[in-house]
């Protein structure tokens, strides 16, 4: 299988055809080899139009959802970004290509260790990865220009809003465990909060103190 051709086709048929327009996002999706973030046995499906299992009952998100979330962050290259839910590391790699520095958190150790290895092998040096409950954010490194949550939350954790800088934006899927709405929360220069509804989506659960409790 020619992964370069498959990736180009993915970008044209799944992203551009559905309205992704940000050239920087398109270039990042063309550049980052998604097949390196899934098990080798699944690599032939890496450019399909769907999320895929990555072990530990977790998933790598659908390429379109990664592109849409990234585009809605309006990154310029200067930002300090916090991602909650490293998973395979794919979204972190896309963010690292488009922002200044990425801080990413994953609660499941084996996934975090695997992601670290792949990200290192790609030479992405501007990513800090921490194992822990990201529903409380990463206090020592706050504030962030951008926060992206890649798991579905029952509500928007106030701690994450608090860790957002003025002028910053937070993207988070919010809803029940079966379906969510992708929300964008912006903190204006005077500190007031604006909430926007983007699209319907379906993510695995954000677990933790300010997420869901029980089984994931």
Using rule CB under 6 A, residue 211 touches ligand SAM? yes
- Three-class SS state of 133: coil
For ligand SAM, give the closer residue by CB, 31 or 166.
Answer: 31
Nearest to 216 by CA among 59, 9, 83: 59
For ligand SAM, give the closer residue by CB, 47 or 90.
Answer: 90
Which pair of tokens denotes residue 146? Answer: 């951008």
51 carries an active-site annotation? no
Q: What is the closest distance, in whole angstroms, from the C-beta atom of residue 131 to ligand SAM in the complex?
A: 8
Nearest to 34 by CA among 71, 59, 58, 55: 59
Q: What is the closest distance, in whole angstroms, from the C-beta atom of residue 10 to ligand SAM in the complex?
A: 15
- Per annotation, catalytic residue among 43, 50, 51, 61: 61
Using rule CB under 6 A, residue 133 touches ligand SAM? yes
Q: What is the closest distance, in whole angstroms, from the C-beta atom of residue 192 to ligand SAM in the complex?
A: 27
Using rule CB under 6 A, residue 172 touches ligand SAM? no
**Which of 14, 43, 59, 163 touches ligand SAM by CB under 6 A?**
59
CB under 8 Å to 140, separation ≥6 — which residues? none
Whether the upstream peptide bond of residue 8 has omega within 30° of 0, thus cis, is: no
Using rule CB under 6 A, residue 84 touches ligand SAM? yes
- Three-class SS state of 160: helix
**Which of 14, 43, 88, 163 touches ligand SAM by CB under 6 A?**
88
Side by side, the strands of the sheet bearing 80-84 are 127-131, 101-106, 80-84, 144-149, 164-175, 180-187, 193-201
Using rule CB under 6 A, residue 105 touches ligand SAM? yes
Using rule CB under 6 A, residue 204 touches ligand SAM? yes
Q: Taking CB under 6 A as the rule, which mask of x and - marks residues 141-160 in contact with ligand SAM? A: ---------xx---------
**Which of 25, 32, 81, 111 touches ligand SAM by CB under 6 A?**
111
Instruction: Identify which range of 70-78, 87-95, 117-125, 154-162 contacts ligand SAM by CB under 6 A.
Output: 87-95
Place of tokens 């999706």: 29
**What is the C-alpha separation between 160 and 197, in angstroms, rounded?**
18
CB under 8 Å to 144, separation ≥6 — which residues? 79, 80, 81, 82, 103, 138, 163, 164, 165, 168
Residues forming contacts to ligand SAM in the complex (CB under 6 A) are: 58-61, 84-85, 87-88, 90-91, 105-108, 111, 133-135, 150-151, 203-204, 206-208, 211
């Amino acid at each position: 299988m020619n992964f370069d051709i498959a990736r180009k086709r993915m970008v044209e048929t799944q992203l551009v055809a559905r309205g992704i327009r940000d050239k920087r996002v398109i270039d990042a999706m063309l550049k980052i080899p998604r097949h390196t973030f899934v098990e080798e046995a699944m690599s032939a499906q890496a450019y399909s139009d769907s999320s895929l299992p990555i072990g530990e009952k977790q998933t790598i998100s659908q390429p379109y959802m990664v592109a849409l979330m990234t585009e809605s962050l309006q990154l310029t290259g200067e930002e300090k970004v916090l991602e909650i839910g490293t998973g395979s590391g794919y979204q972190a790699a896309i963010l690292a290509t488009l922002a200044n520095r990425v801080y990413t958190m994953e609660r499941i150790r084996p996934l975090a260790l695997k992601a670290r290895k792949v990200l290192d092998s790609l030479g992405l040096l501007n990513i800090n990865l921490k194992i822990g409950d990201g529903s409380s954010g990463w206090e020592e490194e706050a504030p962030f220009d951008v926060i992206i949550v890649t798991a579905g939350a029952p509500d928007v954790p106030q701690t994450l809003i608090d860790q957002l800088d003025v002028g910053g934006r937070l993207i988070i899927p919010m809803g029940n465990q079966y379906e969510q709405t992708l929300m964008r929360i912006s903190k204006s220069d005077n500190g007031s909060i604006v909430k926007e509804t983007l699209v319907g989506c379906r993510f695995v659960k954000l677990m933790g103190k300010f997420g869901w409790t029980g089984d994931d």
